[in-house]
Amino acid sequence: MNYGAIMLSTALVAGVALAQSPADRLSLKEPHLAVVPRSGAEAARIQAVTAPPSDFGTAQPFEANQGGAGTVRRRDDGQAFSLPQNDLTFEQQSDFAVGNGLFERLWVTAPSSTIASDGLGPMFNTRSCQDCHIKDGRGHAPQGPGDDAGSLVVRLGLPLRDDPTAANDLDLYLGAHPDPVYGHQFSDNSVPGTASEGKVSVTWAHADAVALPGDERVSLRRPEWSLDDLGYGPLDPRTRISPRVAPQMIGLGLIEAIPTADILSHADPDDLDGDGVSGRAHVVWSPEYERPMLGRFGVRATTPTLRQQAADAFNADIGIASPLRRDPAGDCTEAQVACRAGPHGLDPEQGGFEVSDESLDLVTFYTGRLGVPRRARVDDPEVLRGKQVFHAARCTACHVPTFVTHRLEDRPEHSFQLIWPYSDFLLHDMGPGLADGLPAGQATGSEWRTPPLWGIGLTEETSGHRQFLHDGRARSLTEAILWHGGEAQAARDRFASLSADDRAAILAFLESL
């Protein structure tokens, strides 16, 4: 099923003017949020509290509470990212627990006596949300024989054009056509009676070592991906692949509550200030609200809301139909006849879907209220010095420290919160080293959304590994920084020129997040 074509036809039906660019069509109103407008006095307070610090000798007020009032205690075990926000009511905690159960649910093949849990596949990547987002943390890339790609997905596509930003019509919402046989996403598992699409494997090629001051040498590794044992013939020779590991899940509801205007205020697509950083908003089409919206979620900011993110993942990753993604065959294409004719779990008791509207809402509630852990060592002199060096190196040009969320009538737990995600949620060209060549909407194959850094210091405790970047290639934070290119090249070079003590201070600061 070509969801891009569905979105395009929906846009045409909605009567959107083709002569406008996507940015021109973007409204600052968020249709899924009950927003209370800010007063002038509140706007002034927000400007003051989010201004860059002038004194790095002490921690800023409330800096330890990265997730605002909902910040949770910092744990050093596998549950660090699985706690509910600290400001939920008793009733909300109950909804959180039910949503958690659905997030962990193992889906089975239909028909089954457990109609609320059947409908898996026919092709899929994992049987549950938790299988990919293990302990709500980061996934990992395969490390060798016997290590499967369970917490990694591979997106597929045929680019519509060399430069997705060049067109001025609605097809730039699509970015890439699906592979004519394998669709938009590679499925390495399937139910009995249906062949899977194949297996994902990777070999690691080592790049030249990078010499850093202080006699440190860092060897970078580059992944070489392959799709093996293809079950439906060869891929189209024009198809590009984009592997990416599952991201951590904390703070997503707070991200959704950041005003669109505040994110756009950091965009500088034409680099008018001349600093070499030209972040731009990713305007995407919302099939739920039939309008352009700001993309916030996903490695290329392709999704505007958490509810759509949940529906997309149910459908593409598990093969589950919901009110927002109605096809029970998931990503199976018309060329995959057995898959299209395979068993499904559509049921009247689920509203005619495999996951009901209510269940989709509960999963969305859960993913939107996973608490952000408290910062560590905010007053430590080395951490404070690392923070200062982080600012001086201009890392904050993309990793914007703070935002204040909307005032929300129906979501007090996300309302008017000072948060510290360290991201601008914009697209940036990260250079050829990280490029995969697969566009997504307006995002080119070398553009990525700035990932939030909160919680990055707990990656090993939560996920049991230290893999970073979108495909897990970096084995340390130093490697992750050294892979930065394009708009981030200058900041990367500043880091690479620092003394060993200053590099250690930056790493101490990042580990405190």
Predicted TM-score (pTM) of this structure: 0.94
> Which tens digits make up the pLDDT trace of 392-424?
999 999 999 999 999 999 999 999 999 999 999
Q: Which residues of the chain have pLDDT under 70?
A: 1-25, 162-172
pLDDT digits (tens, 9 = 90+) for 80-94: 999 999 999 999 999
d(CA 449, CA 298) in angstroms, rounded, equals 8
CA 139 to chain centre: 12
Cα 152 to chain centroid distance, Å, stands at 13
Say how far apart CA 95 and CA 73 lie, in whole Å: 21
Cα–Cα distance, 29 to 395 (Å, whole number): 30
- Half-sphere exposure of residue 445, counting CA atoms within 13 Å on the CB side? 21
Question: Quick check: 185 and 156 in contact, CB under 8 A?
Answer: yes
- d(C-alpha 221, C-alpha 474), whole Å: 7
The one-letter code for the residue type at 38 is: R
Q: Burial, 168: exposed, middle or buried (Cβ in 10 Å; 0-12, 13-18, 19+)?
A: exposed
Q: How far is CA 164 from the centre of its chain?
A: 20
Count of alpha carbons within 13 angstroms of residue 338, beta-carbon side: 11
How many domains, in total, are found in the chain? 1
Which of the 8 DSSP states describes residue 179? B
The CA–CA distances, whole Å, from 403 to 43, 45, 200, 355 equal 12, 12, 38, 34
Instruction: Return the pLDDT at 150.
Output: 79
Confidence at residue 177, expressed as pLDDT on a 0 to 100 scale: 92
Instruction: Give residue 484's domain range.
Output: 3-512
Q: Can you tell me whether residue 446 is helix, strand or coil? A: coil
Q: According to DSSP H, which parts of 198-288 are helical?
A: 252-256, 260-264
| Structure tokens that stand for 359 in this block | 């269940």
pLDDT at 250: 98
CA distance 423 to 247: 14
Q: Which residues of 74-112 are buried (b: 16+ CB within 10 A; e: fewer)?
A: bbeebebbbbbbbbbeeebeebbeebbebbebebbbbee
**pLDDT for 9:** 31
Going by the DSSP 8-state scheme, the letter that residue 301 receives in this structure is T
Task: Determine the Cα–Cα distance for residues 321 and 316; give it in Å rounded to an integer.
Answer: 9
How many angstroms separate the CA atoms of 499 and 212, rounded? Answer: 8
**Separation between Cα atoms, residue 185 and residue 227, nearest integer Å:** 12
